Chain A
Amino acid sequence: MKRFSGLRILAEGLTGNAGWRPHWRDAAPAEAYDIVIVGGGGHGLATAYHLAETYGEARIAVVEKGWIGGGNVGRNTTVVRANYLLPANQRFYALSLRMWERFEQELNYNAMVSQRGILNLYHSDGQRDAYIRRGNAIRFSGADAEHLDRAALERMWPFFDYDNARFPIRGGLWQPRGGTVRHDAVAWGYARAASARGVDIVQNCEVTGFDIQGGRIAGLRTSRGAIGAGRVGICVAGHSSRVMEMAGMNLPVESHVLQAFVSEGLKPCIPGVIGFGAGHFYISQSDKGGLVFGGDLDGYNSYAQRGNLPMVEHVCAGGMALMPMIGRARLLRMWGGVMDMTMDGSPIIDRTPVEGLFFNGGWCYGGFKATPASGLVFAHLIATGTPHEAAADFRLDRFARGHLIDEAGSGPQPNLH
């Protein structure tokens, strides 16, 4: 792997940019591997990287049914943060945020990690108290949180509709270390680093079945033939139920569609990432100038990778209530992704009843920020057979045991998380 550097850009620029090469090898599947990761999204690629780099494993493949980065890792709104209330989540996301801070140096890849800060607004006294409590919990975990009152907000965000009759803005919880990361670059960066460490990245290779012998995984059936495997890790996000059904499991998961929106390019006008507290709307501005925003799930089971128009209107109405100045910006693009929504809104990283088969999923609408930590802890589980301490609560049996990790407190109703 040739390192990227400022010097190399200069040298390439002076020599006609003829020396750039594909960032990773597009491998054909071998007959067998020690470890096969199913799903070439952020989590699958990060897992393969950490298996090779951190846990010294060899003979690893990532098999992806389409092209890497074509799933949710390339469809999300790129927000990274560690502002959860419950210790089980916050411990994990705080680790992930620390890993984002080292990501570019460690992988020698520009992912445009931008710690521009994330602001969550509150609109009532009760909400203020809840946010301050959350802020304290975040600080206990070692991550950062600051309470900003209205006067402080007005200095940085003069354009909010503070005196909105229904949703007056009273203040917010600010996490300066949160921000955005270029999503495609995360997939490419992990793919390049994994490939350089010998991992085979096999695209256009759909897993269609498992070869299970005497309760142990022995291999996979794929659209490119059978592949033997000693251990298998599943990272297929929205398709978790479909893939795990082939191993005889019904997961506590529903697949839902979430949409994202981008406006035409504008001059820089929105600092940080902003979340409305009175409806489902959040927004940031990309480096190209587009306003990137999103809101709630459409709300019904879907594998369609596209949503319906009522949610477009709902999200835009939220935006207008918060910052009427965006009303004249034109919407340029929108799309949807399939979310693996769990029954408590938190992820699952665990062994399965099939020996040697491991599952990572249930990332809901927030798994992009989890990518580095998810890769590390899943690699730990696959390599050592025991859960990583940062993910020890993300067990599959927590539902039956009643140890749910329900941030929203909305019960087993995936479209409300």
Chain B
Amino acid sequence: MPADRPPPEGPSAPEDRSMLLDSARRTTEVEPILTVHPEPGVAKPNPILTMDGLRRSFGGLTAVDVDHLEIERGIVTALIGPNGAGKTTLFNLLTGFDRADHGRWEFNGQMVTSPSPDRLARRGMVRTFQLTKSLAKLSVLQNMLLGAPNQMGERLWAAPFRHLWRNQERTNTERADELLEQFNLARMRDELAGTLSGGQRKLLEVARALMSDPALVMLDEPMAGVNPALAQSLLGHITQLALSGVSVVYIEHDMDVVSGISDWVVVLAQGRVIAEGGPWKVIHDESVIDAYLGRRRAGTEA
């Protein structure tokens, strides 16, 4: 399943080296997670997201069936699993885009009682979509600005009075330009987003999600369709994010990417968490390999 892409430690761009440095530095910072025993549903020292008994079925098919799972704060967690494992569905449940049949989860220390996507986003849980949702008829910059939180100008009563929101808009624009620069989209700033390539839209969506300074970003296959060089820099940003205290969960199929930048890996198969742990250990876990190859083992069959 892994896409045809060079491993993260490629020999080329200068950013690669800095990324290596970052990950070296990070190893010391994420120490606590390394002490966690790698088994499904294990408790973490400082979780930002904790879910219990989360279930969702479509007709007879149980897409998600997670007994207990914790996502650690401030690190990069990869969510992997074969196609149809329920990764996207799990994202949809957690972010309020789909309703669980059962289950409860806690975000940032607070129970999520009535999951509405916009409220969760305002609380700091921001996601991107597997099928990109860039807004084609808005310019790239407008897309970015839309991501900014608490905008005075988004209130109807203040909208006609530009002086009430001009400064905030300017600050947001500066922030947007910074991010566009980082994501190699500065050139496209004033183009309509609909004119971007598929990979550029993926990048735009991630950059846009970052406009709100989220506490947790959930990226659904952010690297899919992005060319290797850009994917490389995107990986760098993800690492940077975790360094600056943001928690990241991302879905990815490429094992090189997963082992390159993840601090922790959760494996989903047929809706269940079948393994979690440090990247090296999980990727070489036999039950994980079996799941990817479509083999069922006595232990995972329910």
A and B co-occur in one complex: no
A→B interface (CB under 8 Å): none
B→A interface (CB under 8 Å): none
